[in-house]
Structure 1
Amino acid sequence: MKLNKILFLFLFLLSATVAVAQSSLELKRKKEAIQRDIELLQRNLTKTAKNKKLTQSQIDALNAKIGLMQDKITVINSEIKNLDNQIHENTNTVINLKGQLSQLKKEYAGMIRFAQRNQNAYDKMMFVFAASDFNQAYKRIKYLQQFGQYRKKQAGYIQGTQKDLNYKIVVLDKNLKQKSSLLHEQESEKDKLGKNKNEQAQVLNKFSKQEKQYKQDIVARKKQQAQIDRNIRSAIAREIAIAKKKAEEEARAAAERARLAEERARAAAERARALAVAKAKAENKPIPAAVAATPVAKAKVATANSSNNYLTATPEAAKLSAAFESNRGSLPWPVATGTTTESFGKHKEGQASYDNAGITIQTNEGAAVRAVFNGKVTQIGNALGRYYVLIKHGQYFTVYQNLKSVSVGKGEDVSTKQTIGIVASSGDIPELQFQIYRGQAAQNPAGWLSAK
């Protein structure tokens, strides 16, 4: 019974340890990913530290960095909470194991005392011969044998429990050291966060002094971005128009084929009716009513699709569109390393406001830009020396803006993660503007890209 209890406790502790280890590993990975993003942003900020003119990219990088540092502190707090739970569980386990060890030793001591009192072989024989019958004597012999075996098992339980206790004490000591290390890391990160908030305050003070120029920069950037977005929507509209024209041509061709088939059927029916009439007259018989009015079945005419359905009119396009949609939340990032510094939707800086139809991703200098899914390049544009690439995925489109160079051509088929160009720098900071459209409706890329 005691063996089953100890085995159950061991299995429970093992499963709990595995679950906690997985949770701790996930937190560690998340913290490391956040730290990589912080270091990337810091490298970009360091490169622009000597710039007298403040740029939107610098402000976005600093704000994103502060946000990531706060996220890192939150993850550290979760790690500390996780360790506190482990420490509490391990402390309780140590207390329980000490109690079990004490009870096992107490019972073992009692058995030793009993064995010492009855260790004489003569006493054992008298104990057996004093039985009232053979059956009772046999049971007494078995009892003495089982008592010896049980005593050995108890000794094994004591050794096993002592080993488990020592192991848990080591784990508990390791937990306490880890917690101390995390508390030190937490204080260090809070100190860094405070310094970065001071830097942010200085940047905002600098912004207030340059607000007029800064507002002009935002207005100019907004106009430029709006023009690019209009060009992109126009390109998408052209793709829809081409698909619509093709679908309508196919529908007209199908209608013409149906009309010709109907005419052939009508002519055949007319010939059959004429032959039937001629035969009836030759045989001097009345003309059957069914022959006199032979109906001709009308062929079905294909109708064209409407709206974005034109983009999925062909089986290949429909399959590609469905595949793209099924990968929502798991599309690879358009750059191998990067962090979002400006999210999807409306933004406001001071009195100036603007809209982001995608997300802005800061990355490393010279980073390769990759297609996030299989598709066809339908547009390559140029705006102020920077390129953008439009890729079609059925009824979906992905846009990659602010490229220094492009390595694909219009009409070319591309595959997932294929390099399509190199990112350019905005104010000395390399960043990519990434967008997703369903037809002409902009989507929030954050919901489509995979988690890091």
Structure 2
Amino acid sequence: MKRYKYLLLFFLAIFTLQATAQQSSAELKKKKQALQREIDLLQKGLNQTSKSKKLTQSQINALTAKITLMEDKIAVINTEMKRLDSQITENKNTVLSLKEQLAQLKKQYAAMVRFAQKNRNGYEKMMFVFASKDFYQAYKRVKYLQEFSQYRKKQANFIMGKEQNLNEKIVVLDKNLKEKSSLLAEQENEQHKLAKDKTQQAEALNKISKQEKQYKQDLASRMKQRAAIDRSIKDAIRREIEIARRKALEKARLEAARARAAALAKAKAEAAALARAQAKARAENKPVPKAPKVKEPEAEPEKVAGNPLTATPESAKLSSAFQNNRGSLPWPVASGSITEGFGRHKQGQATYDNSGITITTAPGAAVRAVFSGKVTTVRPAMGSYFVLIKHGEYFTVYQNLHSVSVSPGETVSTKQTIGTMSSSGSPELQFQIFRGISAQNPAGWISR
């Protein structure tokens, strides 16, 4: 019984490993397809912008991002090949094992057939039975002859099953080898493309170095515009914080006024009761009770304790829900690639900061809210628009929109369209997340 239990566990483990390998293979193919979609999107944008003779930083960023994606894709292909090599080795060993088992089974079956041919005469079988010492031995010999015949049939079926299994494994192995050949060709093709793009990148960087003065001026102009927009965004956030602070302070003052009114009413009632008690004591010639010390009423609050943006239960709940979705927020566009990350960047000898991430997307792409919240600001900026959405103590910003479909004060839901990108060129969405006025790295918040 134990032996069968161990065999069952062994086959279950093999099945689980095979299922895991298949799942991992499917995940790798899915990842490779996703990377290729991003590469195609960037290449489409590069094809459109390459018509312009003037090289821009956006083109260089897109080219750099494309090279990174291609390197990631090659890494995925290498992982696929390693996994496939493991499967090929495993299947080769299985084929060899099955061939050995089949040869042994055929050898045993041939021996049984020769034995059966020697004893096929019915008279000899009868003599074999009648030569028994007693009835019990005769019965056992009859059963033996019957079981031998049945066993021979089972062995024949078992050999056929083994042959079928062997043929199936050979087909799988052949498929593995063809797939490996295809992956090798794909890897070679991707490496060739990568080398070409790296050459193009080197030429672009060389061009920038030759025209460094012009690019420094362009960068300074672009950074000046970005700084102006960032100041406008932070001013809008500060206004929201101030509005929340005033509301919280007004609420606290109202609650304090109610508390004072209740305390005054209670004091009046206690004074009236004391006056009655004192009059009664005098009439009965008893000690007159003294008035207790009156507690000074609390002054109106001058400031709000804690974060005013989470002062209400609703805003605190929304802020907590946003925080709990860190790493799984949807992208603000359906398809795109991060072409400039968060933080400090260097271009030539100049450095600049990006308080969000730049996502290159498709022309005319719909821009979506990454979480439910309230639109607080919609404002034109440098020929485009930006939208600011409040999520408790968090804010999300969507810059460089060509058109906007929401208004200040409007409540939006997750993935609701709030505007669209430009329908020409290679549009770049500037996406930011703030906690209060502190910039967060959006790459750590959106799903990978």
- Shorter-chain-normalised TM-score: which range? over 0.9
Name the structure 2 match of 1:437.
434
Change (3 A) 1:127 1:221: same
Contact 1:343–1:358 (CA under 8 A) maintained in structure 2 = yes
Change (3 A) 1:296 1:139: farther
Count, aligned residues = 446
CA distance in 1, matches of 2:146, 2:106: 21
Give the TM-score taking structure 2 as reference length. 0.93
Contact 2:365–2:423 (CA under 8 A) maintained in structure 1 = no
Provide Cα deviations, 1:184-212, integer angstroms capped at 9, x if missing partner.
11111111111111111211121112111
CA distance in 2, matches of 1:411, 1:115: 93
Provide Cα deviations, 1:99-118, integer angstroms capped at 9, x if missing partner.
11112212222222222222
Question: Which segment drifts farther, 183-192 or 261-270?
Answer: 261-270
Map 1:316-395 to 2 at 5 A. 316-395=314-393
Letter in 1 for 2:100: G
CA distance in 2, matches of 1:403, 1:25: 36
Give the TM-score taking structure 1 as reference length. 0.92
Question: Which segment drifts farther, 322-331 or 291-300?
Answer: 291-300
CA distance in 2, matches of 1:54, 1:306: 53
Name the structure 2 match of 1:229.
230
Q: How far off is 1:401 after superposition?
A: 0.4
Q: How far off is 1:263 after superposition?
A: 1.4
Change (3 A) 1:273 1:285: same
Name the structure 1 match of 2:403.
405
Question: Which segment drifts farther, 298-307 or 36-45?
Answer: 298-307
Name the structure 2 match of 1:112.
113
Change (3 A) 1:130 1:285: farther
- Three-state SS of the structure 1 residue aligned to 2:227 is helix
- Three-state SS of the structure 2 residue aligned to 1:369 is strand
Q: Please, what is the CA RMSD of the aligned residues? A: 2.4
Name the structure 2 match of 1:122.
123
Pairing 1:198–2:199 present: yes
Q: How far off is 1:17 after superposition?
A: 2.8
Identity of aligned residues (%): 63
Provide Cα deviations, 1:104-163, integer angstroms capped at 9, x if missing partner.
212222222222222222332333333333333333332222222222221222111111
Map 1:169-318 to 2 at 5 A. 169-287=170-288, 292=290, 305-306=304-305, 309-318=307-316
Contact 2:384–2:402 (CA under 8 A) maintained in structure 1 = yes
Letter in 2 for 1:389: V
Contact 1:262–1:297 (CA under 8 A) maintained in structure 2 = no
Contact 2:357–2:431 (CA under 8 A) maintained in structure 1 = yes
Contact 1:399–1:436 (CA under 8 A) maintained in structure 2 = yes
- Three-state SS of the structure 1 residue aligned to 2:388 is strand
- Three-state SS of the structure 1 residue aligned to 2:427 is strand
Provide Cα deviations, 1:211-241, integer angstroms capped at 9, x if missing partner.
1110111111111111111111111111111
Name the structure 2 match of 1:450.
447
